[in-house]
Amino acid sequence: MAIIGAGLAGLSCATRLQTLGFQVQVYEKSRGPSGRMSTRHGEGWSADHGAQYFTARDPVFIEALNTWIKAGVAANWNPRLSVYEGGQWRESNSTKHRYVGIPAMNAPGQYLAKTISIEFNQTIDKIYQQDEKWFLHSLENGDITQSFDYLVLAIPAPQSRTLAKLVDHSIEAVCSSVKMQGCWTVMARFSEKMHMPFDAAFINNEIISWISRNHSKPGRTGQETWTIHATPLWSQQRIELDREDAGKLILESVKKLGLNCQNAEISIHRWRYASGAINTEMGFILHEDNKLSLCGDWLNGGRVEGAWLSGYQLASAIHISAALNT
C-alpha cells in the first residue's frame, strides 16, 4: 500500500491501515509531516502559519483527539476572541471548543508519523499501473522499484488531478470540479509584547480574515509572534503576486486594525492550495477496480476534522473491499 501525502488525511489513513494489518509506505514532498497543520520555526521564535485551530464533533475523531491530549500533543485553546466588521470591534459570542497542537500545530501529525514508514523530500510526479500493480516515479530519485497493490492520493485536488489524469479520467473530472483557493500568510515577530485587546480575531470584509497571537496558545515559547491570514478570494486573485508586495498590502490592512508591524521582523508564506472543498461531501473516493483511492479535507468539508475522518474512513473502506475480494 502506497500513500502520497503526509498531511493529516494521509497520516490518518496510514495509521488506520496499519492497525487493520496492511503494510504502508508514505511518500511526502516536504521535509516533514502534517501538511497545512504547519509551524514555521526560526531562531528564538515559531508561528503556526497554516491551520490555526480545529474543532471536534464526530465521536471517532473525538476519541483520537483524546488520545492526542493524553499524549501531550494537543490541548484546548481559549483565546480572547474578537470580531471586526463594518469598522467596528466586538467580542465574539462563539462557544466553540477550539483545540491546537502543542507545542505547535504540527505536533499531532508528528505524533502519528512516528509509527509510519515515510520517505520525505519525495515528489511523486508520475504514477502508472502494470499487471494490476501500481508504480511510482519520483522527481528527485526517478523510478521507485517497489510496486504496490493499492495507491492512495492524500494531496490537494489540483495535485491529485495532475497525477491521475493519465490513469483515471473519472478522478480527473472530480478533481477538476474543486476550486481550491490559496492563502497569503504573514508572520510578524516582535521583541516585546504587543498590547492588543484580543488574542485572536475574525476580520470580515477586509483583505485579511484572521489575526492571532501565537503565544496565546498553550505550550508556546520564544518571541511574541502574530499570524495574519489574507482572505481566500483576495489571495487567489493575487496568488502570483510578488511575495514582498503581497506582504506589504497585508501589513497595511492589519495596521488599520491596530496592529502596527513597523518594528517587527516579517516572514511571508504563500499557500497555493489552502481552502476549497467539493460541493457534495463524498468523504473519500475508492475505486475498487484499479485500487486507486483519494482522501483529504477537500473531499470532506474542508476542515482539520474532515481531513482526519476522510483518511480514517477510506482506510476502513479499503479493508472491507480487500476482505470481500480475497
pLDDT tens digits, one per residue of 155-196: 999 999 999 988 888 888 888 888 889 999 999 999 988 989
3 state SS of 148: strand
Strand partners, 2: 25, 151
The predicted-structure confidence for 191-243, as pLDDT tens digits, reads as follows: 988 989 999 999 999 999 999 999 999 999 999 999 999 999 999 999 999 99
Report the share of the chain in percent with pLDDT over 70: 99
The whole-angstrom separation of Cα 188 and Cα 260 is: 10
The whole-angstrom separation of Cα 37 and Cα 226 is: 16
Residue 168 pLDDT: 85
Strand segments (E) across the chain: 2-4, 25-27, 39-42, 45-48, 74-77, 81-85, 88-91, 98-101, 117-119, 124-130, 133-138, 142-143, 151-153, 181-190, 200-203, 208-213, 224-230, 265-275, 284-287, 292-295
Whether residue 151 is predicted with pLDDT greater than 90 in this model: the reply is yes
Looking at residue 58, its amino acid is D
